[in-house]
Structure 1
């Protein structure tokens, strides 16, 4: 029988973190799941670390994904191999709480109309130190319509669903929608969730069950302006695709907030850079 949940991990140059990521997935209180992982031809030893888990009964390691294609190539690769009813993608440097699968499956099973569940997340630095807690899900709580969830993600000018580790959804809908939506590469997760949300309701679990790592190499921080430009284009596209859901006020507010978020991300990056610099200075004197 196929597992209830497929956890898919598209790894790329995650040698420092991939073991922690895998351990967090494998140490779940919920047991009916499979793990599918593929390395995107990393050059930092990620593949060697992944191969240490080759004998684990829940893990299926795919051959390396060839170079190129951006995130979409590896995200689609691992997702297309999934067999579970529900799919959860966890990037190779993020972490999920021990009860994440159990609580998200329970949320979906308790609400037959729901097609996606999202939780809050904590933000952590490259060393795993949490510096912002319980972020996400602005404007929604409990069971809401998919259209309302889409409206709120546009209105707030940011991905209220959170990064992939925060989300679980019906796998068949990803297939129906043709895989991960790369129309706006910096919003590949948010754009895909918006398409899935059009098929049913959303459960917003206002509990932190995921940990998103931000580091100097995180493209969503370094390229904040490009991300905000793509967010504005995405907002306009959604407002045209779903007439009557996104008002002109929603669109205007969302676009302004997307620009504001680009500056907020820069401030977070500067804060982290200063924090990491101080830690290195302390280490050098020990």
Structure 2
């Protein structure tokens, strides 16, 4: 049990890292036999050798475990732990309990790291004594490991002490990558783990949106991770539908509650009460409004939600907010649904518009 840090919100104190700290890599696997071998190859190709990779198999029905065992038998740094299916948060909790590193890195079982990933992460932590959260840029690859787009996913990454910004914006900092681009110091991890196991997927959002509230972010702008998009990927999609927006809205709401609990544990109730509500988050308002329109709720309700969204000080940062949402409330439900398919779906019209006006699905505004 961590002790209360301070009544004033500031980055938590971190112990000095040893010269060659042990890095624990947490991998939650469920039926990724097709990719887990390539993922582990990228781990074993790291130029920084002092690591352990804990793979928690979450009740896979394929031959994932047999593949991991082959790697574990060849290299003692690879460790397999099995458990019945419980979801991503449960699997990561199990992997964390079996880890002992000073640095914790998360790696999705289908993603690939560049050989210098861990070396760069260790150097980034050593460069800032108060930096407890390191993030790196990513590039998208497909199911065959071919690069989808040569440019990094993020044009810029969040950096520095972002807690004041997050506290004023519903708890959320922007420009934070998904799981395989996240690394945290163990003291930070001890405040986050064990994660709420209700997060059966998208559990990395707990790290993404809890860590910035208690520690500084150190950004590595170069691409160190290949983030895979494929048909069975549970957390990434090129095409969005109503259930995705509803899921993300629900995920924001649960994450917001987790943030309040974290702030209370670390700083006390007084600081936790300063966290603004979700109506201050433009990302939440964006997805909530779209979900309301797709569900065809009464226009009196959607009009109010639209006014809240368009009046937000950060509205207009994503392409849908610039090109579609300002006038979306004036569209009848049927036409809104058709335009939604163009803006958020995967179809030839969207690809044309992407070339014309830029990426219509800026990842800064998609909660995984």
Contact 1:117 1:202 (8 Å CA) reproduced: yes
Contact 2:33 2:63 (8 Å CA) reproduced: yes
For each residue in 1:24-60, what CA deviation from the matched residue of structure 2 results, as whole angstroms up to 9, or x when unmatched?
A: 0110111221111222221221111111112333424
2:316 is matched with: none
1:54 to 1:228, Cα distance in 2 relative to 1, 3 A: closer
2:187 is matched with: 172
CA–CA separation in structure 1 for the residues paired with 2:258 and 2:66: 41
Deviates more, 1:247-256 or 1:129-138: 247-256
Tell me the secondary structure at the aligned position of residue 17 of structure 1. Answer: helix
Contact 2:104 2:183 (8 Å CA) reproduced: yes
> Does residue 1:255 correspond to 2:312, yes or no?
no
| Cα displacement (A) at 1:251 | 1.8
Q: CA RMSD in A?
A: 3.4
| Cα displacement (A) at 1:246 | 4.9
Regions of 4+ moved over 6 Å: 238-241, 261-265
1:108 is matched with: 125
TM-score by length of 2: 0.62
CA–CA separation in structure 2 for the residues paired with 1:226 and 1:185: 15
TM-score by length of 1: 0.78
1:55 is matched with: 73
2:249 is matched with: 229
CA–CA separation in structure 1 for the residues paired with 2:342 and 2:204: 20
Equivalent of 1:193, from 190, 199, 208?
208
1:283 is matched with: none
1:232 to 1:83, Cα distance in 2 relative to 1, 3 A: closer
1:219 to 1:248, Cα distance in 2 relative to 1, 3 A: closer
Equivalent of 1:210, from 208, 225, 230?
225
Question: More strand by proportion, 1 or 2?
Answer: 1
1:24 is matched with: 42
CA–CA separation in structure 2 for the residues paired with 1:129 and 1:176: 37
Contact 1:94 1:212 (8 Å CA) reproduced: yes
> Does residue 1:71 correspond to 2:149, yes or no?
no
Contact 1:6 1:86 (8 Å CA) reproduced: yes
Bigger radius of gyration: 2
Equivalent of 1:15, from 14, 26, 33?
33
Tell me the secondary structure at the aligned position of residue 124 of structure 2. Answer: helix
CA–CA separation in structure 2 for the residues paired with 1:230 and 1:137: 27
Number of residue equivalences: 266
Equivalent of 2:111, from 79, 84, 94?
94
Contact 2:137 2:157 (8 Å CA) reproduced: no
5 Å matches for 1:27-38?
27-38=45-56
